[in-house]
Structure 1
């Protein structure tokens, strides 16, 4: 009997080793070799490349759209068609009928572009999130990256043919295809799930459920923030260096397409799988032929609408699971606040879509600063975007690092509160701005005047603190759920944020059109009111969660003491 048990145990161990070997991806040994990499690297290069592309996209797409539509609309006016290029080059020098037509055209069409891109994303994102939790992270990542390549290629086609083909044709097809592949939501939620898995694997067993997954010292967290910050900064820097009239933007779109293609190739060969549902659900009698296992009748396979609703129930079921204390209520309310926050952020900040990671289209701000009394040209807008990105990227890395030296309860929630206050203040400042200096003060000011030194320094702090909201949210929400629920939670957040641009465009673009002649900044005032509401709500959530955080801290300390005493024994 003992010999039989020994053989069974040996057989079990051999199968486990073979199972682990079969699950290793291509070039696994190369990626695991620490002599090649100075630190563990997995999905971070993809985030860097993708963020470079979005840095190019954030500024360049708005400038190109404004230029292309101006030329096309000017060609429809008989008195301007003979010299449309010159007219559009000097359009910011006066608030004329052509400028009003261009800005209303862009603001109105943006609503339908959001719908074309958001509805497919809402359908596909739950499927990709469920796919990621059930079958691993890498296949959904490759799927979404392929859609990103197609999206960037269509934008490149728009720049090559804008003189003969309406750019909106390319934009609508691009938004539709992007949504069918999950959009940026799938790319970044899957990447965040991979980074979260890596961070959890690096933590000690007693602290795997701790909340400091993305505010800890593991190298994956640092690399994540650095890759995003440097990538966003590099993309915006390229736009500012090549700040030429938007008529020459083919090189930028070609570079953006190339970056997404390189990211896809890297993911195929170098990204490691971090989630193995079959291994984690391993059963010991799985490999024992002598163990009788009762076969359960498989449930009937769902099809059609029922299958889709089942997927939605699986994704949003994370919000209905019973949790200790006020956790479940605070989780649901936090997602509602995320929706309201991004509803307002989509028009005033670089934060539309996906957990504040993909920088949004600053079209509404561009429409504001193109008018008098600001009359910005493309180069000034590029420099403004670069300066704001520098501060935001610096805060994205600095704020979480500083918080690791503190022992406050709910430090990520405190960072969110501070960032929301800064964001609301910048929206109000933008709404009441009457000079170019006011716009720079509100978000990026690095200029010190004799009577406004303190104000400028405060504005710099606003930009830095707002950059810390991204890693704070990535820590605050995932720590409320278990590891196997992370991808579905991030997918739920992605769906909520992907839906908010529709209402955001309907509300703020229509407000901008209605108040264009008497207060163009009124839309930013409404945005500030929304953000102030979320600021108050986050304070209430922080107060409700403090007892639970305190209890968790005591339990962790007790487990640590028990472990230390056991080791001493």
Structure 2
């Protein structure tokens, strides 16, 4: 579907290159530019990994500024996208999915152009914010994501939907894994500019592929208007009433919609809130990784998308979807705890290995939300889910990019530990809802 200057990956159904959020290349570029401006070259010092030396105040300044610029850039882009995504997503219920897969790709291509200009001319990093704002005005990656998952819901039945959604998530992970390895090696060999040219090319190719080859999955209404308050009202109606499928479900149905959305928000906020921190954590002492190791680390993280897909398929043979999600959350929590104390390369990769099922929870939650609404409301639903994802980035970036520099003085890995604690909330909600559903089904079967 799309590609951004943050990370090159590949997705379906448009066979393009896309980013799955945070940004190894742009984060490294920010680190290098800020280090250059401040005269810091700590990653090249022989004593970088020597923890017996006192902390370098210049390194802390670089870490803090990089985390803060990540925060500003993410906040700018996603706050704009928060207004645009529900407009595009709900509009796709009437105008079709294809426009929502084309227009954001063009916006992301424009964002890539701005990033390239910044790199060529060595402009201040504040201009990255301008690029993100342009991407946000087109709907950003979240609009493409909403169109993709609505497309999957349009073309799948209830029984196969969870696995189909997981396949789409795995496509993102596989492309992210390959892009992380290629991006790290390429950046080390030729710098940042050439990889970002590929980002621009793949965004344009993705838009062209969608226009030429992707079939429409909904009946189009020729008179559908893009700029209409109806689209935002449709999203509000969905959550205020529980949707059309809530006619006989009562308040419990609407409650489930809200609670599963809350779970999704917390899980995705943690996923994307900490991913910027992995790069900062690995660049600085005591790990002091270079771009090649960072590429392998990002690849190991993205490999979790594939192992999660395989694990989900196996576990679905003997477990309900909710229990599958709980197993995935347990894997995520354990991995984060290991990250919080990782002070060697081996321990860091152990954390990546223990997180091998961390992505089984999000496809389950997407599928559960999709099954709670009518087919005619899938676009509005996934638009709202995309808005939740935008909010995840706003809140996740704000919390974790601020928490990281604030806790460097007493526990560098504290944000990872904090993220593990947050994930205990969706564990409790999903487990409780599953037990209540089992009791209701048992009571219904007894009555019948």
TM-score between the two structures when normalised by the length of structure 1: 0.68
Pick aligned residue for 1:346 from 248, 264, 272: 272
Looking at structure 2, the residues matched to 435 and 368 of structure 1 have their Cα atoms a distance apart, in angstroms, of 11
Secondary structure at the residue paired with 1:466? coil
Task: Tell me which residue corresponds to 2:332.
Answer: 423
| Counterpart in the other structure of 2:6 | none
In structure 2, runs of 5+ residues without a counterpart are: 1-10, 50-54
Q: Is the 8 A contact 1:92 1:377 kept in 2?
A: no
Tell me the equivalent position of 1:5: none
Partner of 1:147: 107
Quick check: 1:315 aligned with 2:252?
A: no
8 Å contact kept, 2:336–2:419 = yes
Would you say how many aligned residue pairs link Structure 1 and Structure 2?
Answer: 425
Query: Match for residue 93 of structure 1?
Result: 48
For the structure 1 residues 54 and 332, does the alpha-carbon distance in structure 2 shift closer, same or farther, using more than 3 Å as the test? closer
Give the structure 1 partner of residue 289 of structure 2: 376
8 Å contact kept, 2:174–2:302:
no
1:187 is displaced (CA, Å) by 0.5
Partner residue, 1:525: 417
Question: How far has the Cα of 1:45 moved from its partner?
Answer: 4.9
Q: Distance in 2 between matches of 1:553 and 1:90?
A: 69
How far apart are 1:226 and its partner, in Å?
A: 5.8
Is 1:130 aligned to 2:95, yes or no?
A: no
Which consecutive residues of structure 1, in runs of 5 or more, have no partner in the other structure? Answer: 1-42, 75-83, 201-209, 280-301, 349-361, 445-458, 559-569
After TM superposition, give the deviation of residue 265 of structure 1 in Å: 0.7
Distance 1:269 1:69 in 2: 42
CA distance in 2: counterparts of 1:553 and 1:249, whole angstroms: 61
Deviation at 1:383, TM superposition (A): 1.3
Task: Give the whole-Å Cα distance in 1 for the aligned partners of 2:205 and 2:442.
Answer: 45
**Residue 345 of structure 1: SS of its match in structure 2?**
helix
SS of match in other structure, 1:380 = helix
In the aligned structure 1, how far is the partner of 2:140 from the partner of 2:267? 20
1:467–1:154 CA distance, 2 compared to 1 (3 A): same
Aligned pair in 2 of structure 1 residues 124, 553: CA closer, same or farther (>3 Å)? farther
Matched, 1:329 2:251: no
Deviation at 1:276, TM superposition (A): 0.3
| Corresponding position: 1:49 with 2:10 | no
> Which whole-Å deviations, capped at 9, do the CAs of 1:29-76 have from their partners, x for residues lacking one?
xxxxxxxxxxxxxx8352x4234x559x732222222112211222xx
Q: Quick one: distance in 2 between partners of 1:489 and 1:517?
A: 43
Write the distance in 2 (CA, Å) between the matches of 1:545 and 1:303. Answer: 39
Q: What is the TM-score of this pair, normalised by structure 2?
A: 0.85
- 1:107 Cα deviation from its structure 2 partner: 1.6
Alpha-carbon RMSD across the aligned residues, in angstroms, is 3.1
Distance 1:186 1:135 in 2: 14
Q: What is the 5 A alignment of 1:242-391?
A: 242=186, 244=188, 248-278=191-221, 308=229, 310-319=230-239, 320-321=241-242, 322=246, 324=249, 326-348=252-274, 362-390=275-303
Cα distance in 2 between the residues matched to 1:91 and 1:485: 58
Match of 1:435 in 2: 344
Residue 28 of structure 2 is aligned to residue 63 of structure 1: yes
Q: Describe the shift of the 1:327–1:223 C-alpha distance in structure 2 as closer, same or farther (beyond 3 A).
A: same
Kindly indicate whether residue 152 of structure 2 is the aligned counterpart of residue 195 of structure 1. yes
CA separation of 1:387 and 1:315: change in aligned 2, threshold 3 A: same
Aligned positions of 1:174-189 closer than 5 A: 174-189=131-146
